[in-house]
Structure formats: C-alpha cells, structure tokens
Amino acid sequence: MTALDAAWADRWLREAARVLAAHRDELIELDRAIGDGDHGENMDRGFRAVVAKLDESPSESVAAALKLAATTLMSTVGGAAGPLYGTAFLRASIAAGDRTALDGYAVEAVLAAARDGIVARGKAEPGDKTMVDAWAPAVEAAARAADGEAALEAAASAAEEGARATKPLVARKGRASYLGDRSAGHLDPGAVSTSYILRAAVTAAVSEILSGEVT
C-alpha cells in the first residue's frame, strides 16, 4: 500500500494540475453553458501555480501541501472557484494536522473538512447543482471504506457519479441560478472539476511515478 504521506500529497496536486490542464477546454465549455465560461482557464492557471510552488520546494507534510494549495488557489483563481477551493484545501490542511500519513479515518476527516469549508463559504447544499453535489457523496463513500486508498477510490467514484447527477438539476446557487429551469440539462463545472481532483488523488496513490507533465 502506498503511504498517503507528504510525497503522495505533492503527487496528488501535480496530477490534479495535469488532469485539469487536459480538461481545460471541456470545463470552459461546461461553464460557458451556465456560467461565465472561465472555470477551465481558472482551474488550469491555479493548479499550474501550485505546481510552480512545489517545484521550488517539496512539502514537508500532507498539511503543508494542502495549505500551499489553499493559499495559491486563493491568490490565483478567479471567480467563485478560488475562494471555494481555497477554503476547501485550507480546512483540509487543518484536518490533516500533524499526521505523517493519512489512514482511512483521516481521509474521511480531510474530505469532510473540505466539504464543510465549501458549504460554509458558498452556502450551498446537495441538490443545488454545485460542487457540493460531488463533495457530499464523496465524503459519505469515504466513511464506509476500510483504509486510506479504499477511501480515496470510493470518494472519487462517488464524486464522479455525483457530478453526472447534476445534469438534470435546476441550479439554486451561483450564476447558473439566474438561468432558472434553463440550467437543467447541463453538468455543473465545479462538480466535474471536483471529480477530476479527487480522481487525481487516487492516481497519485496508485502510482508513485506519474507519467506526463503539465505543458
């Protein structure tokens, strides 16, 4: 089993950057349908900045990696995503505490803290057609897992399902809510980017040497 330690956390952030860069245009199109159209660009820019910080110095702990992501995303990501993801990673870093590695219980605690930060910042609930619709089932799934890697896999799969389930929903929060019933029939871009970020955590745990770089 790969230790979910500082090295894993750094790999997670690097893999998230790679995946978000690869899906940049997709996220732009999803956001263009019901929002400002800048989600893909913002997420790509923010995680590239995270990787640039990691290139300067590797993280000394899981908490340090998550805090670095939080502060960098808050300062580089525009729109609602910056404060929401920044708060999520900041709360997650606090939950990670001084642990040298995360077990199943700690994975759940970290994900729950991230979800709670997003809810506190955005005032959204499940069913509002936001990223919470991916985070909430992810936390619930992680809680039923036996160990850290299983918790990550369960969380990522649940987030992917949650993101897909946003398509028929009518948005009740954010810019998409201005569209009313016209917001139905579109995936929520924040939920989709959440699913990519959580899947990246699994990839980072499965492989200690990730292929591909952000270009």
At 47-69, the pLDDT tens digits run 999 999 999 999 999 999 999 99
Exposed (0-12), middle (13-18) or buried (19+): which is 178, by Cβ within 10 Å? exposed
* Cα-based angle 52, 57, 60 (whole degrees, multiple of 5): 125
pLDDT value of position 15: 97
pLDDT value of position 213: 45
Which amino acid is residue 66, in one-letter code? L
Whole-model pTM: value is 0.94
